[in-house]
């Protein structure tokens, strides 16, 4: 792994020592099993110590880790027969959001989500997962198609926010986001949204109006990035850790506020360390929620989504 977060470094260095001893044992025929076992026990304890007490800023860093599974990784691991559909039917295509028809087990579904890249070339192609208006219009077109044919919709959220460029604003970025939010609210098929990494502002909300909103354990969801908040409040992006604490961006925070309905457990050390385990964990949660929602009538699905969002923002007056 070529990127190591600062708080992960002691664990990574310890695992390198273990790997070195294992290589020596295999190459030289030495019996180093006792030392290896001792270090492995230390590694497990250190991992539990580090990841049991992460700050909100550290969770934010994990949510952005470039080796986390992205939308297409989940599509490959959870769905069959995926067929990508492109274009907003107004002359534009935006690779920052990928959409397509697929099968989840025996259920035909419509899948969509933000897509980032693993390298510079891919990131430029996908615009770092920051969608333009045509990306959201493509998503809406295919959500309406799914609604017409009674297909549940699965949305993967992983973006720092909608693309803020002048050309995106000129083509109606705010209108595209607002229209998606409005139109998603009245669809009569089940919608399950999953924050798999970073859920940023309106760029996330434009595909985030679901009957159920799930969050991966180390995902974050916020109205603004910690850096953006810090730049506004303190005029210093270095105050991002302080802003992250104030914003309360983690999956645990969002579950407490009712913004998220379930936290999906990640493998020890984070989803970037074990894609297969993270994908399997999400698959179990998706199957459970999809089964429950499939028992509802179209009107009940619509009413359920309405009731979910009406509850947000409620508070108790002090006595």
pLDDT, tens only, 45-69: 877 777 878 899 999 999 999 999 9
Mean pLDDT (the chain) is: 92
DSSP three-state, residue 57: helix
Which position has the token pair 């994990």?
A: 62
Distance (Å, whole) CA 117 – CA 134: 19
Task: Calculate what percentage of the chain has a pLDDT beyond 90.
Answer: 78
| DSSP letter string, 103-150 | EETTEEEEEEEE---SSHHHHHHHGGG---HHHHHHHHHHHHHHHHTT
Identify the residue with better confidence: 28 or 206: 206
How far, rounded to the nearest angstrom, does the alpha carbon of residue 246 sit from its chain's CA centroid?
Answer: 21
pLDDT of residue 104: 97
Q: Any idea which of 14-23, 209-218, 268-277, 301-310 has the lowest mean pLDDT?
A: 14-23
What pLDDT, in 10s, does the model give residues 196-245? Answer: 999 998 999 999 999 999 999 999 999 999 999 999 999 999 999 999 99
Q: Which of 126, 137, 110 is nearest to 191 (CA)?
A: 110
Scored b (16 or more CB within 10 A) or e, 201-222 reads bbbbbbbbbbbbbbbbbbbbbb
What pLDDT, in 10s, does the model give residues 97-156? Answer: 999 999 999 999 999 999 999 999 999 999 999 999 999 999 999 999 999 999 999 999
């Amino acid at each position: 792994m070529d990127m190591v977060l600062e708080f992960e470094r002691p664990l990574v260095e310890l695992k390198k020592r273990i790997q070195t001893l294992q290589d020596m044992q295999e190459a030289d025929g030495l019996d180093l099993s006792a030392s290896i076992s001792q270090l492995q026990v230390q590694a497990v304890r250190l991992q539990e110590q580090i990841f049991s007490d992460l700050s909100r800023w550290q969770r934010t860093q994990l949510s952005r880790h470039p080796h986390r599974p992205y939308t297409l990784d989940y599509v490959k691991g959870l769905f069959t027969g995926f067929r990508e559909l492109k274009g907003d039917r107004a002359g534009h295509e935006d690779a920052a959001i990928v959409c397509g028809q697929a099968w989840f087990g025996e259920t035909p579904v419509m899948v969509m989500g933000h897509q980032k890249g693993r390298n510079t070339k891919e990131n430029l192609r996908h615009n770092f997962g920051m969608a333009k208006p045509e990306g959201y219009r493509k998503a809406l077109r295919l959500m309406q198609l799914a609604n017409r044919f009674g297909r549940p919709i699965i949305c993967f959220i992983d973006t720092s926010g909608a693309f803020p460029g002048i050309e995106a604003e000129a083509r109606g970025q705010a209108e595209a986001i607002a229209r998606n939010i409005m139109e998603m609210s009245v669809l009569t098929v089940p919608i399950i949204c999953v924050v798999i990494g970073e859920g940023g502002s309106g760029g996330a909300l434009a595909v985030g109006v679901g009957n159920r909103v799930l969050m991966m354990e180390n995902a974050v969801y916020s109205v603004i990035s910690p850096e953006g908040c810090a730049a506004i409040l303190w005029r210093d992006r270095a105050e991002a850790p302080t802003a992250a604490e104030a914003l309360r961006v983690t999956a645990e925070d969002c579950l407490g506020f009712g913004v998220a309905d379930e936290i999906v457990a990640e493998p020890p050390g984070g989803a970037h360390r074990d894609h297969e385990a993270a994908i399997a964990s999400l698959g179990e949660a998706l199957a459970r929620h999809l089964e429950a929602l499939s028992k509802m009538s179209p009107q009940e699905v619509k009413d359920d989504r309405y009731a979910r969002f009406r509850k947000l923002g409620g508070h108790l007056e002090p006595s």
